[in-house]
Amino acid sequence: AQSVTQLGSHVSVSEGALVLLRCNYSSSVPPYLFWYVQYPNQGLQLLLKYTSAATLVKGINGFEAEFKKSETSFHLTKPSAHMSDAAEYFCAVTSLSNTGKLIFGQGTTLQVKP
Amino acid sequence: EAQVTQNPRYLITVTGKKLTVTCSQNMNHEYMSWYRQDPGLGLRQIYYSMNVEVTDKGDVPEGYKVSRKEKRNFPLILESPSPNQTSLYFCASSSWTGTYEQYFGPGTRLTVT
């Protein structure tokens, strides 16, 4: 069965430091991949998506992610963390059997320290 | 403005009292689904609908019902809620064309006592 694994349920960085949130997926064919962000008491907002057009994907708020087929990874990065980046981040992949369905990772809570 | 709306946003109820959470989208999307979010488990799909009058079970359908009589609406029904249905619920919609990006509602936090 397809799955998404996010390494680290909590990540803490200092303001201005590099943000790296890890995501690995299992899929027999290249999927569509997404990163969503959830701010406290809010719904999910799309950060970026991979749709096979380019392996390096740029999203909103300075985030980007690189699709690496050989590693089945789609890690999310941002060069310099801001306090406003503190949130929960979800990696997701489209289901091969049900393309309207997203399979989510467990989520990673990002803490940004001043 | 393109959006998915859910009501209510917060709900506290007692075991066994039927409730409905409404969901509506204004993007003419064919596909709609319900997810529940629980700590450490991410989001899991409860039910989905590919179009009007077409619904099917997701990964965790027990204790839930849905209907899709109109394209824009997809209510979630808990006929006899139990405490293990205490969760944060999200409605989402997407189009069959494009990249299957899903648009999410703001969430409904349900507590069953």
Q: What number of residues does chain B have? A: 113
Asked if the C-beta of B90 comes within 8 angstroms of chain A's C-beta atoms, the answer is yes
Q: Which residue of B has its CA nearest to A97?
A: B58
Give the list of residues 6+ apart from residue B83 with CB closer than 8 angstroms, or none: B15, B112, B113
Residue B95: pLDDT above 90? no
Give the list of residues 6+ apart from residue A4 with CB closer than 8 angstroms, or none: A23, A24, A25, A26, A91, A92, A93, A103, A104, A105, B42
Predicted confidence (pLDDT) per residue in A29-54, tens digit = 667 899 999 998 888 999 999 887 78
Predicted confidence (pLDDT) per residue in B31-90, tens digit = 999 999 998 888 999 999 999 999 999 999 999 999 999 999 999 999 999 999 999 999
Among candidate residues A51, A50, A49, A35, the one with its CA nearest the CA of residue A87: A35
**Count of CB contacts below 8 A, A vs B?**
54
Residue B8: pLDDT above 70? yes
Chosen for mutation from B7, B9, B45 (greatest number of chain A CBs closer than 10 Å) is B45
Asked if the C-beta of A102 comes within 8 angstroms of chain B's C-beta atoms, the answer is yes
Beta-bridged to residue B33, according to DSSP, are B48, B92
Alpha-carbon gap, residue B52 to B31, rounded angstroms: 9
Q: Mind telling me how many Å the CA of B81 is from chain A's nearest CA?
A: 23
pLDDT on residue B45: 93
**Do residues A7 and A24 touch, judged by C-beta distance below 8 A?**
yes
pLDDT on residue B100: 75
Give the list of residues 6+ apart from residue B2 with CB closer than 8 angstroms, or none: B26, B27, B103
